Amino acid sequence: MTRSFLTGTRGELLGVGVLALLVLLVLPLSLDVFRLNLVGKYLTYAFVAVGLVLCWGSAGILSLGQGIFFGLGGYCMAMFLKLEASNPEATKIQSTPGIPDFMDWNQLTSLPWFWEPFHSLTFSLAAVVLVPSALAFVIGVAMFKRRVGGVYFAIITQAIAAILTILIVGQQGYTGGINGITDLRTLKGWDIRTDEAKLVLYFVNAALLLGCILLCLAVRRSKLGRILVALRDKEDRVRFSGYDVANFKTFVFCLAAALAGVGGAMFTLQVGFMSPSFVGIVPSIELVIYCAVGGRLSLLGAVYGTLLVNWAKTSFSESFPELWLFAMGALFIGVVMAFPNGLAGLFQTHVVPRLDRLRGRGLPPVPGPTRMAAE
Amino acid sequence: MTNATDFLLSVEGLTVSFDGFKAVDDLSFYVDENEIRVIIGPNGAGKTTVLDLICGRTKASGGSVKFRGKELTAMREHQIVHAGVGRKFQNPSIYDDLTVFENLEISYPRGRSVWGALAFKRDAAVRERIHEIAEMIFLADHLEQRAEYLSHGQKQWLEIGMLLIQDPQLLMLDEPVAGMSVNERVKTAELLNRIIADRSVIVIEHDMKFVEDIAHKVTVLHQGKILSEGSMERVKNDPKVVEVYLGH
For B147-163, give the DSSP string. Answer: GGGS-HHHHHHHHHHHH
- pLDDT attached to residue A246: 96
- pLDDT attached to residue B5: 56
Asked whether residue A366 carries a pLDDT value surpassing 60, the answer given is: no
Asked whether residue A363 carries a pLDDT value surpassing 80, the answer given is: no
Question: Which domains are present in chain B?
Answer: 4-246 (3.40.50.300)
- pLDDT attached to residue A332: 86
Asked whether residue B54 carries a pLDDT value surpassing 60, the answer given is: yes
Alpha-helical segments (H) within chain B: 47-55, 77-83, 100-107, 114-119, 124-136, 152-164, 182-195, 208-214, 232-236, 239-241
Asked whether residue B247 carries a pLDDT value surpassing 60, the answer given is: no
Query: Each residue of B46-66: b (16+ CB within 10 Å) or e?
Result: bbbbbbbbbbbbbebeebbbb
Number of residues that make up chain B: 248
Question: Residue A229 is nearest to which of B89, B98, B159, comparing CB atoms?
Answer: B98
Number of residues that make up chain A: 375
Residue A212 sits at the vertex; the CA angle it makes with A207 and A213, to the nearest 5 degrees, is 95
pTM above 0.80, yes or no: yes
Q: Give which of B55, B76, B77, B142 to mutate to test A binding, by max A Cβ within 10 Å.
A: B77
Question: Which residues of chain A are within 8 Å of residue B102 when distances are taken between CB atoms?
Answer: 226
Question: Residue B93 is nearest to which of A236, A244, A247, comparing CB atoms?
Answer: A236
Express each pLDDT in A273-292 by its tens digit: 999 999 999 999 999 999 99
> How much is the mean pLDDT over chain B?
90
**Three-state secondary structure call for residue B21:** strand
State what percent of residues in chain B have pLDDT above 70. 96
Q: Rounded to the nearest 5°, which phi and psi values hold at A146?
A: -90, 5
Nearest-angstrom CA–CA distance, A333 and A340: 10
Lowest mean pLDDT among A18-32, A210-224, A256-270, A360-374: A360-374
Q: Mean per-residue pLDDT for A222-232?
A: 95
Express each pLDDT in A164-192 by its tens digit: 999 999 999 999 999 999 999 999 999 99
CB A165 within 8 A of CB A276: yes
Q: Mean per-residue pLDDT for A197-220?
A: 96
Q: Rounded to the nearest 5°, which phi and psi values hold at B203?
A: -120, 135
From the list A40, A2, A34, A27, the residue with the least C-alpha distance to A269 is A40
Asked whether residue B15 carries a pLDDT value surpassing 70, the answer given is: yes
Nearest-angstrom CA–CA distance, A213 and A255: 12
Nearest-angstrom CA–CA distance, A145 and A149: 10
| Helix-, strand-, coil-residue percentages of chain B, each rounded to 5 | 40, 25, 35
Question: Which residues of chain A are within 8 Å of residue B95 when distances are taken between CB atoms?
Answer: 229-230, 233-234, 237
CB B199 within 8 A of CB B211: no
B41: left (phi over 0), alpha (psi -120 to 50) or beta: left
- pLDDT attached to residue A106: 93
Q: Rounded to the nearest 5°, which phi and psi values hold at B31?
A: -120, 130
- pLDDT attached to residue B244: 79
Nearest-angstrom CA–CA distance, B206 and B229: 16
User: Using CB atoms within 10 A of its CB, is residue A106 exposed (0-12), middle (13-18) or buried (19+)?
Assistant: middle
Q: Mean per-residue pLDDT for A182-205?
A: 95
Where do the structural domains in chain A lie, given as residue ranges?
A: 8-366
Q: What is the ipTM of this complex?
A: 0.90
Q: Closest chain A residue to B93 measured between Cα atoms? A: A237
- pLDDT attached to residue A100: 95
**pLDDT grade for A372, boundaries at 50, 70 and 90:** very low
Q: Would the CB atoms of A234 and B113 count as touching at under 8 Å?
A: no
Q: Give which of A2, A241, A254, A341 to mutate to test B binding, by max B Cβ within 10 Å.
A: A241
Question: Which residues of chain B are within 8 Å of residue A219 when distances are taken between CB atoms?
Answer: 118
From the list A52, A41, A15, A40, the residue with the least C-alpha distance to A292 is A52
Question: Residue A227 is nearest to which of B82, B117, B119, comparing CB atoms?
Answer: B117
Q: Mean per-residue pLDDT for A132-141?
A: 97
Q: Closest chain B residue to A145 measured between Cα atoms? A: B76
